[in-house]
Amino acid sequence: MSVRRILGPAGLALVLALASGCDRIVDAVPSVGALLERADGPPPAAAILATLSRPGLAPFGSEQLVAVLERRDVAAVLLPGPTVAGTTTWIAADATTVSVRHDGLVVATRGLAPDLMRADLSEIASALDAGAGPATRVHRHLDGLDREVVAAYACRIRTEGPGTVTILGRAIPALHLTERCANGRVRFRNDYWRDRTGRYVRSRQWIGEEAGHIRLEYIGP
């Protein structure tokens, strides 16, 4: 599968259906087609996010993941799929997936072209739990010939301090942590907001040089 955006026509249909509380996603398809045919292209992420609400999301289950791919300025709502060994595969309506550990760390994507095939974040997770310290992040991607390329990044975790994040109108006490990483010319920063249960309810995570950062917000009960 080679989907170059996290949000395709079906993804927009899902978002619009969620926002309006429709029981049938197909009801939103005609309006989605009109949006995609606009001269200025599909709506930016901010416009999609502005339509979302907890009541609108409620008919689709008790958990959702709102994702924004910053570099492409697109957004989607993902629903939980299978969970294997503590990692849940979250699925958008266009079959794009983001695999997320139980704590909220992204370990793989499919459908973003190029994808993060797999990430080893064991050291990152431990350093985040500790609130500080050095750690190595390991990413695996495929090159243009479908060969696996492994990249390791030297990272350092820091606790920025406690605060509150507001997600779809709900204020959530959360601890802000940052992760700064480097490998030669490649440098990036990730941000995490961890709630009292240990879940990163809001995060901004780098998934690769081409895809850039993905922002995630967890919508729970």
How far lies 19's CA from each of 23, 60, 93, 121, in Å? 11, 11, 14, 34
Considering the domain boundaries, does residue 2 fall inside one?
Answer: no
pTM of the model: 0.81
The amino acid occupying position 171 is A
| 4 occurs within a structural domain | no
Domain enclosing residue 60, as ranges = 9-219
Residue type, 27: D
Integer Cα distance of 161 and 20 in angstroms: 36
> pLDDT-based confidence at 70, cuts 50/70/90?
very high
Domain with 55 in it: what CATH number? 2.40.360.10
Q: What is the pLDDT of residues 87-98, one digit of tens each?
A: 999 998 888 899
Residue 3 lies in a domain: no
- In the structure, what pLDDT confidence band is assigned to residue 57 with cuts at 50, 70 and 90? confident
- DSSP of 165-201, one letter per residue? EEETTEEEEEEEEEEEEEETTEEEEEEEEE-TTS-EE
Residue 191 confidence (pLDDT) above 50: yes
